[in-house]
Amino acid sequence: MRWLKRLLALVAFGIVLYLFWPLVGELRAVADLLRQARWAWLVAAVVIHIISYISLTALNYLLLQPFGGQISFMRLMAILPTMAFIEVAIPSAGVSGVVLRARFLGRSGYSVEASTFTLAIESIYLAVAMAAVSLSGLWYLIRSGEVGTRQLALLGGLATVLLAVGVLIIRYGRDREWMKRWADRVVAGWNRLAPRLHQPAAALDHFLARVDAFYDGLAQLRQTPRWPYWIAAISRVALDVATLYACFAAFRYAISPGVLLTGYGLMLLLSSLAALPGGLGLADASLAVVYDRLGTPGAVAVAASLTYRLITFWLLRFIGFICWQLLEAQKRDNLPEV
């Protein structure tokens, strides 16, 4: 499956690059916009994104509560950007971040199963929140008449696909035995292929134990109220969208809510195809292309998109590098937790 994702990423990147090429002529106008940017809005974008990450930390903190470990909120907040940095520094389809998370949470008394399970549940909550934001943007565009027939057909098709995938995940993801049967098939398929690739065979018992650990953890979480998780997840996504809005406002462009939300959702969909972590490359180009196609002036689309990615991708990973050094220093020098 990895080769298929790389192929899809290559095709998607080629299409986005083709669509982005006409925007290259806007670079001089982009430079003028950067010189005239309203810096108060840029500072606001950074502050909003920090608060967004506090919401993400709160979601993880709540999810970890039933699992017996003990970690401070500030230490957990340092671990999350460290994961983002490691996933870029050691590209491995996200595995390096998962391993690092398990390692640091293990120091606070959490098992590997608790670490990976809560990460999976976090992803589900955020995916639902992102889908809700994207669909609300589409609904707003339809109500306000800001979208043409062709655009409506395309966006409606994408919304239908996302909704169908979500329903299937919820329908079958709750069935422990169905998941075990799939694990059995996947392991059997891998074990037939492994000798040809000179790779070790997988142990079915290990995978089934992980499946049981996932559903046992899910059962524990069901005993707690879910509304705090939804508030944290929706706050994380809503504030991320607000960061993007502030980037447009910095360049004196009043983007409509429908275009803002719909473009955000399409960017997430395209960046999920990227072979590199964080949608690196594909997300940077696709964000500008999406907003340009939704009617935003080309120079504004490029300037706001690059600024947003600078804040949410590069600045975050720079902070993650610093946090990584601090977390490692605590282990070596037995310093108090962050």
Instruction: Give per-residue pLDDT as tens, 198-213.
Output: 777 777 777 777 677 7
- DSSP labels for 106-131? HTTT--HHHHHHHHHHHHHHHHHHHH
The pLDDT-based confidence of 335 (bands split at 50, 70, 90) is: very low
Q: Looking at the chain, which runs of residues are DSSP E strands? A: none
Encode pLDDT of 111-123 as tens digits.
887 888 888 888 8
The pLDDT-based confidence of 233 (bands split at 50, 70, 90) is: very high
User: pLDDT value at position 243?
Assistant: 96
Evaluate if residue 275 carries a pLDDT over 50.
Answer: no
The pLDDT-based confidence of 156 (bands split at 50, 70, 90) is: low
Q: Taking Cα atoms as reference points, which of 302, 304, 306 lies closest to residue 26?
A: 302
- As a whole number of angstroms, the distance between CA 208 and CA 292 comes to 47
Structure tokens given for 66: 């039933």
Q: Do 288 and 306 form a contact (C-beta atoms < 8 A)?
A: yes
198 vs 322, more confident: 322
Evaluate if residue 9 carries a pLDDT over 70.
Answer: no
Q: Do 99 and 85 form a contact (C-beta atoms < 8 A)?
A: no
* Residue range 189-206: mean pLDDT, rounded: 75
**Type of residue numbered 87:** E
**Type of residue numbered 43:** V
SS3 (DSSP) at 1: coil
Which DSSP state fits 36?
T
Structure tokens given for 283: 């997300």
User: pLDDT value at position 211?
Assistant: 74
User: pLDDT value at position 294?
Assistant: 79
User: pLDDT value at position 28?
Assistant: 65
Helices (H), 294-334: 298-309, 316-333
So where are the chain's domains?
A: 2-333
Structure tokens given for 3: 């080769």
156 vs 297, more confident: 297
Q: How far is CA 334 from CA 102, 119, 234, 243, 331, in A?
A: 19, 27, 37, 37, 5
User: pLDDT value at position 296?
Assistant: 83
Encode pLDDT of 10-63 as tens digits.
544 454 454 444 455 556 666 777 778 888 999 999 999 999 999 999 999 999
User: pLDDT value at position 152?
Assistant: 63
